[in-house]
Amino acid sequence: MPSTVQEPWPWYIAGPLIGLTVPALLLLGNKAFGISSNLRHLCAVCFPAKIPYFQYDYKSESWNLWFAAGIMAGAFLAMQFLHGDGHVAVAPALQQELSGYGINDYSSQVPVQLYNWPALLTLRGWLLLVGGGFLVGFGTRYANGCTSGHSIFGLSTLQWPSLVATVCFMLGGFLMANYILPVLLRL
């Protein structure tokens, strides 16, 4: 295996490959790239509870669940055969800040000191995993799209609502990372 495949890939390889998902899905079946719709499909399949938002023909959207299943399979393959969870080189300024919260394990792409079962019993771990997950699910459906649907597909097709959405995503993330997360991680 060439070492370039094993090493983390640079942005100018990864970005174009991700961008090619847009024409690939369009040409393979006239499908619009957008992953967060799957959260709605999963709700419609698992517990629709007579809520109108979950009454629709989700079977006609099953291609997207296959796409999501593919992401899981690809991640699994990358872990097994492509050294997918290689060392994460983190900016020194971020390392310094995180060490103040007791986060200094860079062996995985997720911070193992926050992403584990016992962390769920701590306030900061619970807020990060449960609270954060809730905001992702609620916010993406309320905004009618996420990074893939708005920031990649919507911007690629020159739709101004997606530009507004992307600016709001970045603003929310900026506020969280710089002003709220530092407080939460001290809990």
Partner 1 sequence: MKKNIRFFIVGSLFGIVFLKAQIISWFRIQEMFRFQSFHMYGVIGSAVITGLLSVLLIRKFNIKTMAGEEVVIPRKPFNKGTVIGGLLFGLGWGLTGSCPGPIFAQLGMGVPVAIVVLLSAMTGTWVYGLLRDRLPH
Return the ∠ at Cα 104 (arms to 13 and 10), rounded to 5°: 5
Q: Which of 57, 60, 154, 186 binds partner 1 (CB under 8 A)?
A: 154
The contact mask relative to partner 1 for 27-66 (x = CB under 8 A, - = no) is xxxxxx--xx-xxx-xx--xx-x-xxxx-------xxx-x
Question: At closest approach, how far in Å is the CB of 121 from partner 1?
Answer: 12
Which residues, other chains included, contact 152 with Cβ-Cβ below 8 Å and sequence gap of 6+? 18, 19, 21, 22, 33
Q: Which of 71, 99, 122, 186 binds partner 1 (CB under 8 A)?
A: 71
Give the interface size with partner 1 as a residue count (CB under 8 A).
131
Nearest approach in angstroms of CB 102 to partner 1 is 15
Work out whether 183 is an interface residue with partner 1 (CB under 8 A). Answer: no
Query: Contact 149/32 with Cβ under 8 angstroms?
Result: yes
The minimum distance between CB 98 and partner 1, in angstroms, equals 8
Rg (CA), the chain: 19
Residues 187 and 172: their CA atoms lie apart, in Å, by: 21
Using CB under 8 A as the binding rule, the residues of this chain from 91 to 150 that contact partner 1 are 91, 93-94, 98, 106, 108-111, 114-117, 119-120, 127-150
Contact of 119 with 129, CB cutoff 8 Å: yes
Give yes or no for residue 84 binding partner 1 (CB under 8 A).
yes
Distance in Å, CB of 187 to partner 1, minimum = 13
- Phi/psi region, residue 102 (left: phi>0; alpha: psi -120 to 50; beta: rest), is left
Q: Which among 112, 144, 141, 127 is positioned nearest to 154, based on CA atoms?
A: 144
Which of residues 1, 2, 16, 183 is near partner 1 by CB under 8 A? 16
AA letter at 172:
G
